[in-house]
Structure formats: structure tokens, C-alpha cells
Amino acid sequence: GTYELELQRFAALANSYSLNELYGLGVEEVERYPKKIIEVTREDVLRIAKKYFILDAPVLSIIRPA
């Protein structure tokens, strides 16, 4: 994905390292993150979607000119 491509730039890599340290994740998170993403399953996505998206609740949108 684009994550690995973006980290080919030294500035992006330094930014990731510094933010990971700031948030207490450690510099190793740069290498752990893609592995965590790969581990997400279809079932994980569906479980979270069911938790946050209420499919039986109607939504009304009104669009008009500004």
C-alpha cells in the first residue's frame, strides 16, 4: 500500500518515528503497523460496522440550493 511507499521519504519516516514516540508506541510501530492491518479480518470489519452503523434507523437528507 501507500504506507510503505510514503515511508521511503526520510521526512515521512522521521515524522512517523517522532509521532510514535510521542504517543508512546515506540519506533518499532513503523514495522508493526502493516502487520496489524494485514491481521484484520472480514469478520472484524463487520463486527465493528454493526457496532457503529445502525442500519434500521432511517436518515432524512434535504438538499437545496445555497
Q: With 90 as the cut, is the pLDDT of residue 2 above it?
A: no
Grade residue 55 by pLDDT with cuts at 50, 70 and 90.
Answer: confident
Check residues 59 and 37 and name the one with the higher pLDDT. Answer: 37
Residue 25: per-residue pLDDT: 96
Render pLDDT for 21-52 as a digit per residue (tens, 0 to 9): 999 999 999 999 999 999 999 999 999 999 99
How many degrees, rounded to 5, is the angle at CA 23 between CA 52 and CA 49? Answer: 10
Residue 5: φ, ψ to 5°: -65, -45
The span from the CA of 14 to the CA of 21, in Å, is 11
